[in-house]
Structure 1
């Protein structure tokens, strides 16, 4: 049987306005304990460009910069079984979502959900239900999503503009 994977704790500051939701951290991210730990993932490069911080800064500095811009990061899945890092490899019957009711109750400043890719949105809708906040699905920052960086950046810029 495939090992049960456990996701990471959310990255959240005092008054988040936007919650970016991935599906489940990659193998590299789980091993490092850092969101978007694959250096080929465009998440930190995109958010650094949008919010004016160094995407290669130490992880705690990047997290602090993101939180200072009222952006929180989490994943839809709390646990699952998966071989490798691809969302398509997650065993469908093994998916357990994070507790969004408790998260939303604790963070009432949230105004919008941003899904980092189609799998995050699909699994949220299937396991949690229709989003209770306005939401948008953006192109995945994963290197498996072959869209040009400039196009990804443009989509993310439009969604995260104040």
Structure 2
């Protein structure tokens, strides 16, 4: 008898009142689900990268990290609302089990979103396969922050920095007398 993997359910989005960018992962990992936190695997570089870009510590408590993203106009969600998967790899998700989140109402509720950043190829592939609609936003795939993506951290950071640069808060300038 074959045992089917359990049906996994994603999280509600991290979102404030006027986000400018939406970061989309594919589905939460086993560790993320256990911790009830986006990017809960300590080896995932998401919090390290966003902390470096928005000047917070990747080890800050989860509510402080999410508040920092919201303060910088960054929302976080996953493409999949539910799926079956053994383990954490995106390649292990059963295609027939994938149910996407409802993006139409989300984009209507948050019309300030101008850019969607896919956290890796699986998120982009599944969004394009499962989500229909004509959304007036820019879509960009970035290297996955997952530890399964073996790209060096510095290269991941550079790609994410370039994608988020226009959305970063400007540094205060000091005036010279």
Provide the TM-score with structure 2 as the length reference: 0.90
Aligned match for 1:123, one of 121, 126, 132: 126
Q: Tell me the residue number matched to 1:21.
A: 24
Contact 1:125 1:131 in 2 (8 A): no
Gaps of 5+ in 2: 167-177
3-state SS, counterpart of residue 60 of structure 1: helix
Q: Tell me the residue number matched to 2:140.
A: 136
Contact 2:104 2:133 in 1 (8 A): no
Residue 102 of structure 1: how far off its partner (Å): 1.0
Residue 130 of structure 1: how far off its partner (Å): 6.8
Residue 105 of structure 1: how far off its partner (Å): 1.0
Q: Tell me the residue number matched to 2:63.
A: 60
Misfit runs of 4+, over 3 Å: none
Gaps of 5+ in 1: none
Equivalent positions of 1:1-162 (< 5 A) are: 1-129=4-132, 132=135, 133-162=137-166
Residue 131 of structure 1: how far off its partner (Å): 6.4
Structure with the greater alpha carbon radius of gyration = 2
RMSD, aligned α-carbons:
0.9
Residue 129 of structure 1: how far off its partner (Å): 3.5
Provide the TM-score with structure 1 as the length reference: 0.98
Q: Count how many residue pairs are aligned between Structure 1 and Structure 2.
A: 162
Contact 1:77 1:96 in 2 (8 A): yes
